[in-house]
Amino acid sequence: MADPMKIRANLTGDSTEVKVLMSHEMETGQRKDGQGKPIPAWFIQNVKVMHNDKVVLTAQWGPAVAKNPFLSFKFKGGAKGDKVRITWTDNHNDTRTDETTIG
Amino acid sequence: MRNTILGRGIAAGAMVMVVGGLLYGCATAPADPEVSARATAMMKASFKAHGQAKLDRLDQDETQRLCSDYAGRALPASVAEKIQQENLATVRYPADGKLVGDWKSGEKIAQSGQGFQYNDDPKKPAGANCYACHQLSPKELSYGTMGPSLYRFGKLRGFTDDNRKYVWAKVYNAEAFSACSNMPRFGHQHILTEQQMRDVVALLMDPASPVNQ
Amino acid sequence: MGHSATSGGFFMNADRREALKAGGAWTLLTLVAAAGWLRPGDATAAEAWNKAAFETHSMDETMKALGGGTPAQSTDIVFFSTPDIAENGAVVPIGVTSKVPKTESIAILIEKNPNMLAAMFDIPPGTEPSLSTRIKMGQTSNVYALVKADGKYYVTSKEIKVTLGGCGG
Amino acid sequence: MPSTMRRRLAALASASALALVFGGAFAQSTEEGIAQYREALQDGNPAELWEARGEEMWKKPRGPKQVSFAACDLGLGPGVVKGAYAQMPRYFPDANRVMDLETRLLWCMVHQQGYTEADATKIKFGDGGSKRSDYEALGAYVASQSRGVKMNVPLDEPHVRDMFHLGERMFFFRGGTHDFACATCHGDDGKRIRLQDLPNLSKVEGARKAYTTWPAYRVSQGEVRTFQWRLNDCFRQQRFPELEFGSDASIALTAYLAGRANGAEYNGPAIKR
């Protein structure tokens, strides 16, 4: 199973800054292994960030997003103690959801 | 037991018990021959042959030994002179007298850092990795500064026979001109082939080379 | 009905637009998803990944796959924390802020990558049209930040040089 | 439309490139560009993913004996992690040996958790993919627990001091086909290899700046690298044979560099190109 994400959500004024690190190969499908066989593409395709029950960001990624992806953005309306929940789904249909509390 | 990581450690620990007290309190003596000898013995026990890199790579020649022992101290003029003389004597010029090859091939050699590492294929040609330390063609932004800039080397100094011979000899054995130089001895240590040497000389000494534009 | 995560952004391909025009079913699904009634894993299955857009080699093809026209150059799109030179192409930080009113989505495109589109983000109201991420670059290239705002496309670009790092061995 | 559009975009691109040059708000030089790059990377360090994995590993019972690292003494008492990395390498009487972090972890795995040495050293270094090394996760975690702590390698201890001196000689040892020593690349101020600045590790300032960043996440490898890896790969590039994991030479050189960094605040695991 995929490793947990590392999520930070910090409130400054009325803006919540979310920073997330995900553990993922993000294999491009362009590389070859030691025997010269192509390594199949394996990458996160969809990301969704929820604040409590509201979607605050969705993303579609291609294999050009760097390995162990990083994403940072800000949204309004968050309060300390609220939940921020992030889900990713990759092209193998593997998925992972983690959450944190706004601090 | 001695073949394990932890086992080896215990054996070494015992050695420390014998000589450790002796060193304690002594001033730092970089070239203390006893410490150097123990460091060398420790290294030989701590490295293993891997691919083309065998343990004999830790056997120092006279130049390497002197430069190690005097590292971090002023190199006495007599020692420097000895190193330069001995290394100058190793320089060989090609039998056909042809010193300048193809700068395009030279540029590739200057870009490549492959060769002689334990994970390198010994059948593939080695590079000289000139750009790791020198600026050469202005098109390459990623160059190092351990050595001087060689941009416009031939243009500034002149495309003369003497300069071509000097470049050949310098690439062949840099210790012949500058004792304990950081530059590898590409000819003397058989890092580059004779033709590769010519190509590198061309990169610096061919008027058409991008280095001289 | 206002914005939802999937309405009006890059995520919408032609089929989806048709679905939306047809009303009813799709709108309900997005509302359900937005309200969090579908747990992640359920909802993600319904999320779109615009395969065609991730297989393009030029801006024209990308715009076509996204269902948009020629983007207008805009000084209201700004790169931040985006270096001019990348010490390693495997990880290149890219930050994009859009000051274009009603920004709905932001995409990052790398001209000389095997496929041009790297990432697209849908920005619902309440989320600042500003984000940063990291992408791979195979070589020195122009990087485009493409913004969709109020149904129109805007673009800005900068060149990022990719250098060979390390000892070269 | 296709080609005209492409051309228009190209024109836009060069126009904005000019704006960059004349605007003056962006990098004026390669060095500044690289500095911007490094600065931008600081925002999020994937080493945190390794730290989290290492913390879990540290706390869970493991090995044939199902013993956790709570029994493992890194020098400050069994299970104490806080500040331990900043005081390593150090002498461990129970092993009668100076050990760095990785060697000590190995010792705990073998002597407390019941692993064979062969099992515990099967994967010394990961490959950034599915091949993962426990040392990289544990190393990231233990090191992170010294963040903000001043380096304080016990150089007054005779065994450590002896290793420090041997490591110093090793630093200046020239050998191999290319005559390289550590000092070849790391013995002068203000030099770089390609575009990489080379810390002068023969000086206290350089050793402090460099040592306190390891272990580090290497973006080029997508992997956290420990100091054992750093030395191993330096010697590969030096054209030496392979430096063995946990060998005395590896510990002596670490003792020299870590000891030279004494007094500096530990600031890793860092993120590097």
Could you tell me the CATH number of the domain that includes residue A47?
A: 2.60.40.10
D172 pLDDT above the threshold of 70: yes
Nearest to D273 among C61, C87, C156 (CB): C87
**Model pLDDT, residue B31:** 64
* pLDDT of res. B200: 98
Q: Does residue C5 contact residue C105 with C-beta atoms inside 8 Å?
A: no
Is pLDDT above 70 for C15? no
pLDDT score at D215: 98
Within a domain: residue A42? Answer: yes
Query: By C-alpha distance, which of D187, B24, D82, A74 is closest to C131?
Result: A74
Q: Is D21 on the interface with C (CB under 8 A)?
A: no
Provide φ and ψ at D222, rounded to 5°: 60, 35
Confidence of residue D33 (pLDDT cuts 50, 70, 90): confident
d(CA D42, CA D40): 5
Structure confidence at residue C92 as a pLDDT band (50, 70, 90): very high
Within 8 A by CB and 6+ apart from D21, the residues are none
Residues of C in contact with B113 (CB under 8 A): 167-169
- With beta carbons less than 8 A apart as the criterion, state whether B26 and D220 touch: no
The reported pLDDT for the residue numbered C128 is 98
Q: Are A21 and A69 in contact (CB under 8 A)?
A: yes
List the subunits that have 3+ CB pairs under 8 angstroms with C. A, B, D
* Closest to D128 in 3D by CA, of D47, D215, D221: D221
Given a cut of 50, whether residue C27 has pLDDT beyond it is no
Q: Which two tokens stand for residue C9?
A: 């952004």
Given a cut of 50, is residue D227 above it in pLDDT? yes
| pLDDT above 70 for B205 | yes
Among candidate residues C34, C156, C157, C154, the one with its CA nearest the CA of residue C101: C154
CA dist C11 and C105 (Å) reads 9
Helix (H, G, I), strand (E, B) or coil at D113: coil
**Residue D44 forms contact with A (CB below 8 Å):** yes
What is the mean predicted confidence (pLDDT) over C133-161? 96
Q: Find residues 164-193 of chain B whose CB sits inside 8 Å of chain D.
A: 175, 182, 184-185, 189-191
Lowest mean pLDDT among B189-193, C43-47, C90-94, D199-203: C43-47
The better pLDDT of the pair D111, B29 is held by: D111
Structure tokens at B168: 């050949």
- How many domains, in total, are found in chain C? 1
**Over the stretch A24-76, which tens digit does the pLDDT of each residue have?**
999 999 888 888 999 999 999 999 999 999 999 999 999 999 999 999 999 99
pLDDT digit string, tens, across residues D119-167: 999 999 999 888 999 999 999 999 999 999 999 999 999 999 999 999 9
Average pLDDT in the D197-203 region?
93
Residue B97 is assigned to a structural domain of this protein: no
**DSSP-derived secondary structure letter, D273:** -
Is C52 inside a domain boundary?
yes
Could you give the number of structural domains in chain B?
A: 2
- Asked whether the predicted pLDDT for residue B12 surpasses 60, the reply is no
A55 → closest Cβ in C5, C133, C134:
C5
Decide: B and A in contact? Rule: 3+ Cβ pairs under 8 Å: no
Residue A1 lies in a domain: no
Same structural domain for residues B62 and B107? no
Which of A50, A65, A89 is the closest to C36 by Cβ?
A50
Greater confidence (D196 vs B14) lies with D196
Q: Roughly how many angstroms between the first and final C-alpha of chain C, as a whole number?
A: 58
- Report the alpha-carbon distance of residue C13 to residue B67 in Å, rounded: 68
Residue range of the domain that includes A45: 6-101
Residue D6 pairs with which residues in a beta bridge? none
Question: How does DSSP assign chain B, residue by residue?
Answer: -TTSHHHHHHHHHHHHHHHHHHHTTPPP-TT-HHHHHHHHHHHHHHEE-BTTB-GGGGS--HHHHHHHHTTTSPPPHHHHHHHHHHHHTT----TT------HHHHHHHHH---SSSTTS-TTSPP---HHHH---STT------SS---TTHHHHH-S-HHHHHHHHHHHH-GGGTSTT-SS--TTTTT-S-HHHHHHHHHHHH-TTSGGG-
**B24 and chain D in contact, CB less than 8 A:** yes
B117 and B26, same structural domain?
no
Interaxial angle between packed helices B161-172 and B194-205, expressed in degrees from 0 to 180 and rounded to the nearest 10: 130
pLDDT at D129: 87
User: What radius of gyration do chain D's Cα atoms show?
Assistant: 22
| Mutation for D interface: C91, C140, C162, most D CBs within 10 A | C91
Residue A72 forms contact with D (CB below 8 Å): yes
In a domain, residue C135? The reply is yes
CATH code of domain D42-272: 1.10.760.10
Name which of B18, B41, B38 is nearest B29 in CA terms. Answer: B38
Which domain does C139 fall in, by range?
Answer: 13-162
Distance of alpha carbon D3 from the chain centroid: 48
Does residue C35 lie within any of the structural domains? yes
We report the CATH number of the domain holding residue B194 as 1.10.760.10
> B88, B118, B140 — which closes off a domain?
B88
Rounded to whole angstroms, how far apart are CA atoms A7 and A4? 9
Domain regions of chain D by residue span: 42-272
pLDDT for the residue B3: 61
Q: What is the pLDDT, as a whole number, of residue B9? A: 58
**Of B88, B115, B135, which marks where a domain is finished?**
B88
3-state SS class at D249: helix
Question: Catalytic annotation on D234?
Answer: yes
Total domains, chain A: 1
Instruction: Say how many CB pairs under 8 Å bridge A and D.
Output: 30
pLDDT in tens, B75-126: 999 999 999 999 999 999 999 999 999 999 999 999 999 999 999 999 999 9
In a domain, C59, yes or no: yes
- Residue A18 pLDDT class (50, 70, 90 cuts): very high
User: Hey, CA dihedral for D12, D16, D17, D21, is it positive or negative?
Assistant: positive
Among B107, B140, B142, most C C-beta atoms within 10 A, so best to mutate, is B142
Phi-psi region of A16 (alpha: psi -120 to 50; beta: other; left: phi over 0): beta
Q: Same structural domain for residues B123 and B205?
A: yes
Task: Pick the residue of B18, B32, B35, B43 with the most D CBs within 10 A to test the interface with D by mutation.
Answer: B43
The pLDDT assigned to C139 comes to: 92
How far apart CA B18 and CA B21 sit, in angstroms, is: 7
Average pLDDT over residues A90-100: 97
Domain assignment present for residue B180? The answer is yes
pLDDT value of residue D29: 79
Query: Does the pLDDT value for residue C129 go beyond 60?
Result: yes
User: How confident is the model over B62-72, as pLDDT tens digits?
Assistant: 999 999 999 98
Q: What is the mean pLDDT of residues B154-159?
A: 97
Could you check whether the bond before residue D89 is cis, i.e. omega within 30 degrees of 0?
Answer: yes
Is the pTM value of this prediction over 0.90?
Answer: no
Residue C109: beta bridge partners?
Answer: C117, C144
Instruction: Record the tokens describing residue D212, joined without a space.
Output: 């306190």
Of the candidates D174, D147, D153, the one whose C-alpha atom is nearest the C-alpha of residue D81 is: D147
Q: Identify whether the C-beta of residue D133 lies closer than 8 Å to the C-beta of residue D53.
A: no
Range list of H helices, chain D: 2-23, 30-41, 47-59, 101-111, 117-120, 134-144, 158-171, 182-186, 204-211, 227-237, 248-260
pLDDT-derived band at B1, boundaries 50, 70, 90: very low
* Helix ranges, C35-161 (H): 42-45, 59-66
DSSP label of D155: T
Size of interface B-C (CB pairs under 8 A): 20
| Average predicted confidence (pLDDT) for chain D | 91
Does B94 reside within a domain?
Answer: no
Per-residue pLDDT at B73: 84
Residue with the larger pLDDT of the pair B33 and D57: D57
Chains touching B, CB cut-off 8 Å, 3+ pairs: C, D
What DSSP letter does each residue of C54-77 carry, written as one string? GG-SSHHHHHHHHT--PPEE-TTE
D71 touches chain C (CB under 8 A): no
Is the residue at C7 inside a domain?
Answer: no
For residues B32 and D168, which has the higher predicted lDDT (pLDDT)?
A: D168
Domain of C153, CATH number, reads 2.60.40.2470
Calculate mean pLDDT across residues D5-26: 41
Please report the pLDDT score of residue A1 as a whole number: 66
pLDDT at A6 over 90: yes
**Which residues form the domain of B19?**
5-88
Instruction: Evaluate the CA torsion angle C134, C135, C136, C140 in order and state its sign.
Output: negative
List of residues 6+ apart from B164 with CB closer than 8 A: B99, B100, B201, B205
Q: Which CA distances in Å does D48 have to A8, B20, B97, D223?
A: 12, 39, 60, 11
The whole-angstrom distance between residue C88's C-alpha and the CA centroid of its chain comes to 23
Mean pLDDT of D53-58: 97
Facing residue for C169 by CB, picked from B113, B131, B141: B113
Question: Which residue in D has a C-alpha nearest to residue C137's C-alpha?
Answer: D220
- Of D72, D182, D185, D234, catalytic: D234
B134 chain-D contacts, CB cut-off 8 A: none
Query: Which of C6, C49, C133 is the closest to A65 by Cβ?
Result: C133
